[in-house]
């Protein structure tokens, strides 16, 4: 039996990247899914691929009414709601601290923080009627440490992590668990789109992104949407029924910091000042001296 057999999920940002990976995996594991997005052509492809198991609902998460309608679609079409995966998002404005605008700030916070919170708002009554459920939100390693994303994006993801911790104890008595996932470098079109590259062109660069990211973390392969989808599956399923209020880091070890020679490169000037030959130290690090 699938790990989500009999469960119904709503996934936002479902038509591509992490969202599409989650739709495919959730359906494979027995769930019925409302795939919420604004990419109608890709939404149609989801329905074709998962006939009867997944339904596409046009949902702009910047619009509260669309969020409410997507949640309602779960109970209307499939009779219940067990999981909400708040996943919609983009990189947003890349302005530095002294260049941020009110419009950029409002847009990023609205898309990431407000949309996730209002998703909870409408999901909770439906889950409460079933005796419980699971709310999962895509955060980021950028919300944990500096240097992994633009300022506004990083602030928004940090807010999601704290929102997870604040809401989890409030909803625990209803049997509703609240967690988030902090992806590292995942090969999706979000990187290219953040640089202004059109979506269709960005999707042709995903393999290149994965290859380029391979050397950036201890586990030397590029992260893929399936890696985050597996984490979402765990948090959505009964196997995590004692887990709430957590920010699950899925990053191939990225946030552990530089490894090997990258790590020691930062200390090279100090090592040289102490009179130690960096080449000798490198050999020691590699176990050859």
Residues in the chain predicted with pLDDT less than 70, given as ranges, are: 1, 189-205, 259-278, 281-289
> Which pLDDT does position 289 carry in this prediction?
43
pLDDT tens digits, one per residue of 268-287: 666 556 665 667 766 655 65
Among this protein's residues, is 153 annotated catalytic? yes
Question: 135-151 as b/e, with b when 16 or more CB fall inside 10 Å?
Answer: bbbbbbbbbbeeebbbb
pLDDT digits 0-9 by tens, 200-225 = 655 666 777 777 777 788 898 889 99
Distance CA 227, CA 145 (A): 20
% pLDDT > 90, the chain: 74
The two tokens of residue 213 are: 């990211």
State the virtual CA torsion across 263, 265, 271, 277 in degrees, nearest 10: 110
Structure tokens at 280: 């000798």
Considering the candidates 56, 122, 148, 153, report the single residue annotated as catalytic.
153
């Amino acid at each position: 039996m699938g790990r989500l057999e009999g469960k119904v999920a709503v996934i936002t940002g479902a038509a591509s990247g992490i969202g599409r990976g989650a739709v495919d995996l959730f359906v494979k594991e027995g769930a019925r899914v409302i795939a919420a997005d604004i990419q109608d052509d890709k939404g149609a492809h989801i329905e074709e691929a998962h006939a009867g198991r997944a339904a596409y609902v046009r949902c702009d998460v910047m619009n509260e009414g669309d969020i409410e309608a997507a949640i309602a679609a779960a109970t209307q079409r499939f009779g219940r709601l067990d999981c909400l995966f708040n996943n919609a998002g983009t990189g947003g404005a890349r302005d530095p601290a002294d260049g941020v605008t009110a419009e950029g700030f409002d847009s990023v916070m609205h898309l990431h923080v407000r949309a996730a919170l209002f998703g909870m708002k409408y999901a909770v009554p439906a889950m409460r009627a079933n005796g419980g459920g699971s709310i999962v939100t895509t955060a980021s390693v950028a919300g944990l440490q500096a240097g992994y994303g633009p300022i506004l994006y990083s602030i928004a993801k940090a807010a999601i992590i704290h929102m997870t911790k604040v809401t989890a104890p409030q909803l625990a008595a209803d049997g509703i668990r609240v967690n988030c996932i902090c992806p590292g470098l995942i090969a999706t079109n979000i990187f290219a789109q953040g640089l202004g590259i059109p979506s269709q062109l960005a999707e042709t660069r995903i393999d290149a992104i994965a290859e380029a990211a391979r050397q950036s973390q201890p586990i030397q392969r590029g992260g893929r949407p399936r890696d985050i989808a597996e984490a979402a599956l765990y948090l959505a399923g009964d196997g995590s029924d004692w887990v709430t209020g957590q920010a699950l880091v899925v990053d191939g070890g990225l946030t552990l910091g530089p490894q090997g020679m990258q790590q020691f490169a930062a200390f090279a000037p100090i090592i040289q000042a102490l009179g130690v030959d960096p080449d000798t130290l490198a050999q020691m690090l590699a176990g050859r001296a």
